[in-house]
């Protein structure tokens, strides 16, 4: 164990982690919603292994599906060939996704799923009947997060992550994040949707003709700090994209696969995007697989003889790999068998009750929830909303304390994130929220109600 601790800090470069300050946390097993560490601690997985676990760790059905696929073949390329499980998954995704999304391009990460949509949209305008090659730009929201490759970083807008790379990025038209919890002075909550849609309409009236696509995270901008959009915003965006003839890319990498209470966030506002990006939970959090779904109108613009060069020249070696596809099929089976979305509704309500309690705390500025996604924003001054400086790492302090109570969570700045697997039990949910409450008390040096 001593060797592993040392090597973990010297040889293994961890994602989004300051290695000079990294403290090893080595997980050797998972079971249900629990992780076991090398030193024998059991921790509740309060953020679903970074937002991707759905039905719990070591779910028998998903384990069995992967093992059965291993006995057939581990990998088949999608460059000119196919595997049965990958074909079935494409068909099933087309069936369960919002209407009109009939064609599935597989890759292996959320960032890639977004890159694929960006490139397909770009190429579509050049190849469609009556081409519009001047449509080369994208519109995205402030604080958007779409992954860490350069294309997805270009449409991303989280300054702390993305600013460094600005010289490498393409230009993106940007609008303010439509957060119901951070409205400009003078805008009432009930007017937020109209306010932001008017801005959007005006931007599209000016720039619509040069836009290839609008990229958004439907309902919730997760990495931005669980920023919730006003109800009706997504539907309004869809209508305005149609009005101005711009394609809509819905990045459901985080919010898809049941997270918001429905299989896809777009369902909640009866929206069909032109592209739907899925990753994270699609394999239940087991294996890297991602999908970009699109319409027959887009697909048709890529058809022709090879010599016409309308092919989509893009691919990832492990895109649509059969092991991942088998895990995804099993994940969807479990949704049906265990009636995951039906049982989820009580858990969502239970989480709401806990959040209402946390909201009373003197250093909690706002609590936000959509389905089984929640953010608790800590502030220095509740009356003025003055934030804690990010360097104070208040969120991390909450998480450190929660860990002492047997719960693993990871914050976004001063926002404490709660994103347990959909399989979380009521008792586990209670434990998670109690640990967060303790964490907040300790990290802000207060006691409840004082
Ligand atoms: C996590 C995330 C991505 C990136 O997915 P990776 O698999 O980490 O590349 C893209 N978009 C959203 C909304 C995400 O939350």
Same structural domain, 116 and 264: yes
In a domain, 450, yes or no: no
Tell me how far the alpha carbon of residue 171 lies from the centroid of ligand 1, in angstroms: 20
**Host domain of residue 6:** 2-55+339-443
Q: Does residue 227 sit in the same domain as residue 256?
A: yes
In this structure, the answer to whether residues 241 and 207 fall within a common structural domain is yes
CA 408 to ligand 1 centroid distance, Å: 20
Name the burial class of residue 270, with classes exposed (0-12), middle (13-18) and buried (19+) by CB atoms within 10 angstroms of its CB: exposed
pLDDT one-digit tens code per residue, 109-119: 999 999 999 99
pLDDT score of 446 more than 90: no
CATH of the domain at 373: 3.90.1150.10
Cα(431)–Cα(407) distance, rounded to whole angstroms?
Answer: 8
Strand partners, 93: none
Residues 6+ apart with CB under 8 A from 394: 378, 388, 414, 443, 444
Structure tokens at 120: 């397909």
Residue 448, domain member (yes or no) = no
Q: How many domains does the chain have?
A: 2
CA nearest to 285, candidates 54, 447, 442: 54
| CB within 8 Å of 93: residues ≥ 6 apart | 101, 104, 278, 291, 293
Q: Do 315 and 185 lie in a common domain?
A: yes
pLDDT in tens, 167-192: 999 999 999 999 998 899 999 999 99
Residue 313: inside a domain: yes
Q: Are residues 328 and 343 in the same domain?
A: no
Instruction: With beta carbons less than 8 A apart as the criterion, state whether 69 and 323 touch.
Output: yes
Does any ligand 1 atom lie closer than 6 A to the CB of residue 279? Answer: yes
68, part of any domain = yes
Q: By percentage, how much of the chain surpasses pLDDT 70?
A: 99
Instruction: Say yes or no: 311 and 368 in one domain.
Output: no
Q: What's the pLDDT tens digit per position in 349-379?
A: 999 999 999 999 999 999 999 999 999 999 9
CB distance 309 to 318 below 8 Å:
no
Decide whether any atom of ligand 1 lies within 6 Å of the 412 Cβ.
no
What share of residues in the chain are helix, strand, coil (percent, to 5)? 40, 15, 40
Ligand 1 pocket, mutate which of 118, 146, 150, 277 (most atoms under 8 A from CB): 146
Q: Is residue 449 part of a domain?
A: no
Q: How far apart are CA 433 and CA 429, in angstroms?
A: 6
Give the pairing of strands 275-278 and 290-294.
antiparallel
Residues at the binding site are 110-111, 145, 251, 280, 315-317, 410
Is 48 in the same domain as 81? no
- Indicate if ligand 1 lies below 6 Å from the C-beta of 258: no
Residues 314 and 227 in one domain: yes
Would you place residue 449 in the very low, low, confident or very high pLDDT band (cuts 50, 70, 90)? very low
Whether residue 332 is found in the same domain as residue 349: no
**CATH number of the CATH domain containing 322:** 3.40.640.10
- Res 335 pLDDT > 70: yes
Asked whether residue 205 is assigned to any structural domain, the reply reads yes
Whole-number Å distance between alpha carbons of 210 and 206 = 9
The answer on 160 and 182 residing in a single domain is: yes
Residues 241 and 357 in one domain: no
């Amino acid at each position: 164990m001593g060797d592993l601790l040392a090597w973990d800090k010297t040889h293994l470069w961890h994602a989004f982690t300051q290695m000079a300050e990294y403290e090893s946390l080595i997980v050797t097993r998972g079971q249900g919603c629990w992780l076991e560490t090398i030193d024998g601690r059991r921790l509740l997985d309060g953020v679903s292994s970074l937002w991707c676990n759905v039905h719990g760790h070591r779910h028998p059905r998903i384990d069995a599906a992967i093992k059965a696929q291993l006995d057939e073949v581990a990998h088949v390329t999608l460059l000119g060939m196919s595997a049965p499980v990958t074909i079935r998954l494409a068909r099933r995704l087309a069936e369960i996704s919002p209407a009109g999304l009939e064609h599935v391009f597989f890759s292996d990460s959320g960032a890639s799923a977004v890159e694929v949509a960006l490139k397909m949209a770009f190429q579509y305008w050049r190849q469609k009947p009556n081409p519009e090659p001047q449509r080369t730009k994208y519109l995205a929201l402030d604080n958007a997060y779409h992954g860490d490759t350069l294309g997805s970083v270009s449409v991303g807008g989280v300054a702390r992550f993305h600013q460094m790379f600005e010289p490498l990025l393409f230009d993106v038209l940007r609008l303010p994040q439509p957060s119901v919890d951070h409205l400009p002075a003078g805008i009432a909550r009930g007017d937020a949707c109209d306010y932001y849609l008017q801005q959007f309409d005006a931007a599209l009236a000016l720039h619509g003709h040069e836009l290839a696509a609008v990229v958004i995270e439907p309902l919730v901008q997760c990495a931005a700090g669980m920023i919730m959009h006003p109800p009706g915003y997504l539907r309004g965006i869809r209508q305005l994209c149609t009005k101005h003839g711009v394609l809509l890319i819905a990045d459901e990498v985080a919010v898809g696969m049941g997270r918001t209470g429905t299989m896809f966030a777009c369902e909640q506002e009866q929206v069909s995007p032109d592209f739907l990006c899925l990753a994270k939970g699609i394999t239940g959090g087991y294996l890297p697989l991602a999908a970009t779904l699109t319409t027959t109108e887009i697909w048709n613009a890529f058809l022709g003889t090879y010599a016409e060069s309308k092919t989509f020249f893009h691919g990832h070696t492990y895109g649509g790999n059969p092991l991942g596809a088998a895990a995804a099929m099993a994940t969807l089976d479990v949704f049906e068998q265990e009636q995951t979305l039906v049982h989820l509704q009580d858990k969502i309500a239970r989480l709401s009750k806990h959040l209402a309690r946390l909201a009373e705390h003197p250093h909690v500025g706002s609590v936000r929830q959509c389905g089984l996604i929640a953010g608790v924003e800590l502030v220095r001054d509740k009356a003025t909303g003055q934030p804690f400086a990010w360097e104070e790492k208040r969120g991390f302090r909450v998480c450190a304390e929660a860990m002492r109570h047997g719960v693993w969570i990871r914050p976004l700045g001063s926002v404490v994130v709660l994103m347990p697997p959909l399989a979380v039990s009521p008792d586990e949910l209670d434990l998670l929220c109690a640990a967060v409450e303790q964490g907040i008390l300790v990290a802000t040096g207060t006691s409840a109600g004082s």
